[in-house]
Amino acid sequence: MENQYTIQKLSQKTGLSVHTLRYYERIGLLEGVPRDEHGYRLYRESDLLWVEFLMRLRGTGMPISEMKRFSDLRSEGDSTITERREMLEAHQAHIYEQMRVLRDHLRSIDDKIDHYKGMEKEQNQAVPPKVPSGK
């Protein structure tokens, strides 16, 4: 029941390309990925979970350099837990800020859409409909 994944399978499962998975390992985001007798990567369940967590950091805009720092702390063991928590809390604040910006700009864009709708209406009225007023 100990699931193992080839790089291909992990790529499918995560949506990252095999190139990106190897790249992440090369720069140290993934460490100690086990190999089979031919040197092929064999990812474990724990690797899948870690990659998924990395994707959440990336997907919320954390730069790779910061992910690397986090990853390095993780390799150092439990003594770095406080620092890791602080990193995540700082990142949390960034995410809140992103959401705020999105909300604000969304409002302006909504307004612009409404503005265009108004103009479209006017354009239609400019050529008055031929519908007879009575039956």
Residues contributing to the site for DNA (CB under 7 A): 6-8, 17-20, 22-23, 26, 35, 37-41, 58, 63-65
* Count of residues that interact with a second copy, criterion CB under 8 A: 32
Shortest reach from residue 85's CB to DNA, in Å: 22
Distance CA 6, CA 44 (A): 9
- Cα gap 61→46, rounded to integer Å: 23
Contacted by 124, from DNA, a second copy, none: CB < 5 to 8 Å by type: none
113 binds, among DNA, a second copy, none (CB under 5 to 8 A by kind): a second copy
19's contact among a second copy, DNA, none, with CB below 5 to 8 A by partner kind, is DNA
| Under rule CB under 8 A, residue 53 binds a second copy | yes
> In DSSP terms, which residues pair with 4 in a beta bridge?
44
Asked if 105 is part of the footprint of a second copy (rule: CB under 8 A), the reply reads yes
Which stretches of the chain bind a second copy, using CB under 8 A? 53, 56-57, 59-60, 78, 81-82, 84-85, 88-89, 91-92, 95, 98-99, 101-103, 105-106, 108-110, 112-113, 116-117, 119-120, 123
